[in-house]
Amino acid sequence: MLNFKKFSLSFLAKTKTKTNEEMRALLEAAWDKLNGWQRALLLKRWRFWRRDNQAAPNSNFLVWLILGGRGAGKTRAGAEWIRERVRSGARHIALVAANYIEARAVMLDGQSGLLNIGHPSERPKFIASRRRLEWPNGAVGQIFSAEAPDGLRGSQFDAAWADEFCAWNHAEETLSNLRLALRLDGQDGQAPQLVVTTTPRPSAELIELKAAEGVVTHTLRTAENAHHLARGFLETMEAAYGGTPRGMQELEGQIVTDWPGALWTLSTIAKSRETTAPELDRIVIALDPPTTSGPKSDACGIIVAGVKDGRAYVLQDATLGQAAPEDWAARTVALFETYNADCIIAEGNQGGEMVESVLRQIAPNLPITRRHARRSKQARAEPISHLYSRRLVSHVGRFDALEAQMCRMGSKDVGAKGDGRKSKSPDRVDALVWAIDALLMRGSGGARVRAV
């Protein structure tokens, strides 16, 4: 009889440096040596099959962020982590997807979903009418949709899985509510933790999450999981997307910030990046307020920038997501005082009088200049992008969310729009454009944009 433990260790050692085809051949040869019971045992041993980057970090993380290409195994990694947490003592689980349909199709019923992994005796049952999972050991999982962020309010969890984060329409609010709900310790004493699985897109929410304290990121490549994919899939995808930004995102699991046709590239921005700014001659706070308020509103773009000797310096991206008028107004006034700014520039096409009124309720004598846009957002941004190319604008530090938005502006890449999601307003870029326009295009001796 084959020594199963010895076989497992030997097989793992043999496959560490193998190509995908060699791996497939070894798997087929090894399978023939096992009896039915051993095959069943092997199939359920996730720790045997998983790759190192599919294993949870050893550190005491708050969020485990898994960025993966299509078919790279990120869903299985997230589901197996939940299964392990349930076995070790987690009893209150949150499962969040872009919508309830996706949660059911991927997180539960999918081949790598919670209803199909692990030993059948340990699998949960799904109560569809209550959107609830119940494990045999008493653990309970609740299903939530990012379309209804407030549904997470009032709940408490000791573990959570957020799937396809970049497909969420209300990512910032939903993630905030989810993290506030992670406030229970598991029965094993483990602190509450969150796993986030997603194919990356250069969204502000993803970049901010990745840079946050306590977040550990693993990147999964589609090619690493080739022996679990249909024959020819990887070759077909590589032929279509290999070497392109879309391929870097969808196959390599990378956050791509340089897109074909975009007005800015990250390399252009980086060439003029500074760590400090000189003593500035003039400082402005540029404001691109949302036209509506509430949970479905756009963010309020707020950019602080100054000028010295014909060169502009971006000092801060203070953009507020889905904030009430009194909140973004308070932040704007606070920034004005902190930076001892000279003026507030506000777009006034829609609700311009309201914007000024809200600001003056806090600071009656605030110097406010309203700008009216007569051209499209992209048309207004083009001359500003040329100033970056001439190294006349510097970012003082890194502004990942702003820079990601800049590097998608004007992109003609397939999927940049029309991917099934509502196209969001480039709030940060709009505010940036107004700030640089005021400092360099309308200053004394500078060329003017005639129809902004």
Render pLDDT for 428-442 as a digit per residue (tens, 0 to 9): 999 999 999 999 987
Beta bridge partners of 301: 288
Residue of 398 and 23 predicted with greater confidence = 398
pLDDT tier at 102 (50, 70, 90 boundaries)?
very high
Q: What angle do CA 210, 100, 46 make, to 5 degrees?
A: 60
The rounded mean pLDDT for the chain is 83
297 token code pair: 């509103």
Predicted local distance difference test score (pLDDT) of residue 422: 42
The pLDDT of residue 225 is above 50: yes
Q: Is 100 exposed, middle or buried (0-12, 13-18, 19+ CB in 10 A)?
A: middle
Residue 338 φ then ψ, to 5° = -60, -45
Whether this model's pTM surpasses 0.75 = no
Identify the three-state secondary structure at position 423: coil
Percent of the chain having pLDDT more than 90? 46
Task: Note the pLDDT tens digit of each residue in 381-427.
Answer: 999 999 999 999 999 988 878 888 888 888 764 333 334 334 456 88
The pLDDT of residue 303 is above 90: yes
Q: What number is the average pLDDT over the span 59-68?
A: 91
Strands 193-198 and 368-371: unpaired
| Cβ-Cβ contacts under 8 Å for 12 (sequence gap 6 or more) | 48
Q: Is 428 exposed, middle or buried (0-12, 13-18, 19+ CB in 10 A)?
A: buried
The Cα 15–Cα 11 span in angstroms is 6
Residue with tokens 């944009």: 449
Predicted local distance difference test score (pLDDT) of residue 65: 97
Predicted local distance difference test score (pLDDT) of residue 450: 33
Please list the alpha-helical segments (H only) found in 89-222: 100-102, 171-181, 204-211
Nearest by Cα to 428 from 265, 305, 258: 305
| Beta-sheet strand order (sheet of 63-68) | 125-127, 132-134, 140-145, 92-97, 159-163, 193-198, 63-68, 215-220
Percent of the chain having pLDDT more than 70? 83
**Do residues 96 and 169 lie in contact, with contact meaning Cβ atoms separated by under 8 Å?**
no
Cα atoms in the Cβ-side hemisphere of radius 13 Å centred on 239? 5
The Cα 10–Cα 5 span in angstroms is 9
Predicted local distance difference test score (pLDDT) of residue 446: 36
Please list the alpha-helical segments (H only) found in 182-339: 204-211, 233-241, 245-250, 266-271, 325-338
The Cα 167–Cα 426 span in angstroms is 17
Q: What number is the average pLDDT over the span 309-319?
A: 96
The Cα 399–Cα 207 span in angstroms is 10
The Cα 94–Cα 152 span in angstroms is 9
pLDDT tier at 447 (50, 70, 90 boundaries)?
very low
Residue of 24 and 354 predicted with greater confidence = 354
Nearest by Cα to 79 from 44, 109, 29, 117: 117
The Cα 207–Cα 267 span in angstroms is 17
The pLDDT of residue 20 is above 50: no
DSSP string, 35-86: -HHHHHHHHH-HHHH--GGGSPPSS--SEEEEEE-TTSSHHHHHHHHHHHHH
Cβ atoms within 10 Å of 67's Cβ, excluding its own: 25
Q: What number is the average pLDDT over the span 128-145?
A: 96
Highest mean pLDDT of the ranges 3-17, 96-110, 214-228? 96-110
**Do residues 391 and 376 lie in contact, with contact meaning Cβ atoms separated by under 8 Å?**
no
Nearest by Cα to 402 from 387, 383, 381: 381
The Cα 252–Cα 255 span in angstroms is 9
Identify the three-state secondary structure at position 97: strand
pLDDT tier at 128 (50, 70, 90 boundaries)?
very high
The pLDDT of residue 351 is above 90: no
